[in-house]
């Protein structure tokens, strides 16, 4: 009898791979992992989120490739939890399941006019330029002059930077051809980054903001010119501010000293402002905003509060980038507010059932803790989940295979006619994309249609 523990991991992003890597690191446990992803391509947001001009960051996939080489690992791409496979299926085939499906929706601004044509989520734009199959058909009108990005996190900065770069700056990346073509024809001249809080509270990292100093054909400046901190923020800067915050302020100071140099585009950082309304005749034409001031709370934190001072600007495109949000999964509890699956150190708990813990279901990554942190943050997060799972197996005196009542998952997938792809299949696709890219001096030319991906895999098998 096979005494291996069989674990299903749903989602092949960083969290899914770090969880798998940690499972394989356990010397005293014999563990097999089947990883499922709704796309034929693995790596989640490393492929579909991380900006095309940040190729170095994408090299983290080398670690994931090594994990996938383990003989106890199988990848089932093009298999969606919630349409091809369901929770009861998994619980019949595996000892336990780790859900690491990320956060694929976004938070809305909740202001009038948000649904007008020309108002988009950063999720859509990022998915589009990165060739995520869900967004390949989206259209963005880049013939307008003014674009507003609402939010001041790294994703907002990615969106603004991609809009600000020249086609030549992007040409050697793996941005999709259709996005490069559309950006080549872009008429955008002014890009605004709008943050409700002040410079000291900005969520971006120094590495990301520094890139704005080096754009070939875009000047960067602070709206209003100089960098002004309120008294409380200045105090924090001098006392408890983190190293990154201090660096951010240094870089923003450099930006504030910049003069217009006649470049074709301009990027403005607008701090302490919140959008109130987007308006226009059938499409985005104007954005109204209110200036905020920071007010000290009882707990000592500074929160933005609207003033009487309003701003109205002509706008053609608006991207909201105020946070990603998880989607509920069938048969799992869900916390609407945080967009996460309720859990205790990664073990799923049922708030509607007295917070009882599920011994065979776990979560890792963004769906566990919400959309925060960098790729590496998911490692610690996944390690915690795996240890919680193994401790539970021991505490509950569970045995490998004890709950597995059905044979290999492949027969179920085949009976449901799911056209699943393996990691070896992905490697064929990967080789196809990188070879096509090499010919143009680019890291890869991405395929963006699932039908096309499956066709290439069939041809190359
Ligand atoms: C635009 C953007 C840029 C970023 N840039 C950086 C960066 O430069 N540096 C950095 O360190 N971090 C960056 N991050 C953060 C980093 O990408 C995340 O921390 C990380 O990807 C989260 O990992 P995850 O595994 O939880 O989710 P994801 O990476 O989203 O992976 C989830 C996986 O689950 C799959 N899935 C979803 N639903 C299902 C389902 N129902 N059935 C089967 N599979 C499913 C998805 O296809 C996906 O492959 C960026 C994030 C974004 C959004």
Model pLDDT, residue 2: 63
Model pLDDT, residue 57: 97
Rounded mean pLDDT, 432-445 = 96
Q: pLDDT of 302-324, one tens digit each? A: 899 999 999 999 999 999 999 99
Given a contact cutoff of 8 angstroms between Cβ atoms, the answer to whether 241 and 280 are in contact is no
- pLDDT band of residue 270 (cuts 50, 70, 90) is very high
Q: Taking the chain, what is the end-to-end CA distance rounded to the nearest angstrom?
A: 33
Minimum CA distance residue for ligand 1 atom 16: 375
Q: Which atom belonging to ligand 1 lies closest to the Cα atom of 82?
A: 41
Q: Which of 350, 405, 409 is nearest to 86 (CA)?
A: 409
Whether residue 1 has pLDDT greater than 80: no
Three-state DSSP class for 226? Answer: coil
Minimum CA distance residue for ligand 1 atom 17: 45
The CATH number that domain 106-323 falls under is 3.50.50.60
Given a contact cutoff of 8 angstroms between Cβ atoms, the answer to whether 10 and 99 are in contact is yes
Cα 361 to middle of ligand 1, angstroms: 20
Cα 339 to middle of ligand 1, angstroms: 14
Model pLDDT, residue 101: 98
- pLDDT band of residue 225 (cuts 50, 70, 90) is confident
Mutation test residue for ligand 1: of 20, 50, 385, the one with most atoms within 8 Å of CB: 50
Rounded mean pLDDT, 62-84 = 98
Domain(s) labelled CATH 3.40.50.720 in the chain stretch across 5-104+326-420
Q: pLDDT of 125-168, one tens digit each? A: 999 999 999 999 999 999 999 999 999 999 999 999 999 999 99
Which is more confidently placed, 102 or 235?
102
Cα 48 to middle of ligand 1, angstroms: 8
192, with CB counted inside 10 A (0-12, 13-18, 19+), is buried
The CATH number that domain 5-104+326-420 falls under is 3.40.50.720
Minimum CA distance residue for ligand 1 atom 5: 50
Domain(s) labelled CATH 3.50.50.60 in the chain stretch across 106-323
Whether residue 86 has pLDDT greater than 80: yes
Q: Which of 278, 273, 305, 304 is nearest to 290 (CA)?
A: 273
Element (H, E) at 433: helix 423-438
Upper half-sphere CA count for residue 112 (Cβ side, 13 Å): 8
Mutation test residue for ligand 1: of 52, 125, 375, the one with most atoms within 8 Å of CB: 375
As a whole number of angstroms, the distance between CA 165 and CA 178 comes to: 16
Minimum CA distance residue for ligand 1 atom 38: 101
Model pLDDT, residue 62: 98
Minimum CA distance residue for ligand 1 atom 49: 44
Minimum CA distance residue for ligand 1 atom 48: 44
Rounded mean pLDDT, 344-361 = 96
As a whole number of angstroms, the distance between CA 174 and CA 190 comes to: 25
Give 379's contacts (C-beta < 8 A, 6+ positions apart): 14, 18
Whether residue 224 has pLDDT greater than 90: no
Minimum CA distance residue for ligand 1 atom 4: 50
Three-state DSSP class for 141? Answer: coil
Model pLDDT, residue 300: 83
Model pLDDT, residue 115: 96
Tell me which residues have their CB closer than 6 angstroms to ligand 1: 10-16, 36-39, 44-45, 49-50, 54, 57, 80-82, 100-102, 104, 126, 155, 158, 324, 365-366, 373-375, 378
Q: pLDDT of 366-424, one tens digit each? A: 999 999 999 999 999 999 999 999 999 999 999 999 999 988 999 999 999 999 999 99
Quick one: DSSP state of residue 451?
Answer: H
For all residues of the chain together, what is the average pLDDT? Answer: 96
Mutation test residue for ligand 1: of 18, 47, 49, 384, the one with most atoms within 8 Å of CB: 49
Please give the structure tokens belonging to residue 359.
């011994």
Model pLDDT, residue 407: 84
Q: pLDDT of 3-22, one tens digit each? A: 899 999 999 999 999 999 99
Please give the structure tokens belonging to residue 352.
């509607």
Minimum CA distance residue for ligand 1 atom 7: 50
Which is more confidently placed, 156 or 299?
156
């Amino acid at each position: 009898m096979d005494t291996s523990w069989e674990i299903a991991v749903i989602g092949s992003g960083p969290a899914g791979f770090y969880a798998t890597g940690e499972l394989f690191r356990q010397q005293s446990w014999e563990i097999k992992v089947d990883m499922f992803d709704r796309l034929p391509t693995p790596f989640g947001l490393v492929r579909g989120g991380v900006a095309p001009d940040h190729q170095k960051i994408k090299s983290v996939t080398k670690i994931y490739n090594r994990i996938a080489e383990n003989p106890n690992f199988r990848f089932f791409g093009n298999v969606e939890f919630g349409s091809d496979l369901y929770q009861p299926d998994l619980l019949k085939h595996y000892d336990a399941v780790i859900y690491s499906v990320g956060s694929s929706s976004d938070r809305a601004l909740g202001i009038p006019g948000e649904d007008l044509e020309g108002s988009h989520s950063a999720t859509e734009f990022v998915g589009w330029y990165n060739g995520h199959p869900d967004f390949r058909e989206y259209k963005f009108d880049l013939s307008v002059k003014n674009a507003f990005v609402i939010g001041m996190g790294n994703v907002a900065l990615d969106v603004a930077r991609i809009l600000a770069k020249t086609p030549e700056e992007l040409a050697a990346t793996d941005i999709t051809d259709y996005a490069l073509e559309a950006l080549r024809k872009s008429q955008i001249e002014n890009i605004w980054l709008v943050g409700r809080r002040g410079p000291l509270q900005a969520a971006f990292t120094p590495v990301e903001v520094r890139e704005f100093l080096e754009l070939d054909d875009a000047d960067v400046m602070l709206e209003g010119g100089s960098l002004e901190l309120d008294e409380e923020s200045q105090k924090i800067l001098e006392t408890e501010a983190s190293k990154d915050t201090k660096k951010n302020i240094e870089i923003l100071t450099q930006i504030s000293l910049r003069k217009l140099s006649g470049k074709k585009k301009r990027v403005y950082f607008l701090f302490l402002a919140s959008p109130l309304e987007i308006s226009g005749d059938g499409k985005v034409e104007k954005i109204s905003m209110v200036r905020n001031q920071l007010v000290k709370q009882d707990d000592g934190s500074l929160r933005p509060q609207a003033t009487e001072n309003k701003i109205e600007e002509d706008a053609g495109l608006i991207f909201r980038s105020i946070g990603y949000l998880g989607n509920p999964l069938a048969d799992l509890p869900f916390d609407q507010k945080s967009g996460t699956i309720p859990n205790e150190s990664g073990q799923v708990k049922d708030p509607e059932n007295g917070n009882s813990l599920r011994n065979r279901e776990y979560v890792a990554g963004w769906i566990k803790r919400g959309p925060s942190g960098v790729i590496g943050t998911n490692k610690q997060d996944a390690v915690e989940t795996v240890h919680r799972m193994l401790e539970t197996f021991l505490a509950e005196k569970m045995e490998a295979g004890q709950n597995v009542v059905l044979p290999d998952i492949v027969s179920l997938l085949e009976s449901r006619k799911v056209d699943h792809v393996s990691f070896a299949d992905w490697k064929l696709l990967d080789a196809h994309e990188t070879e096509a890219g090499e010919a143009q001096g680019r890291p890869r030319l991405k395929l963006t249609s699932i039908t096309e991906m499956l066709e290439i895999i069939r041809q190359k098998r």
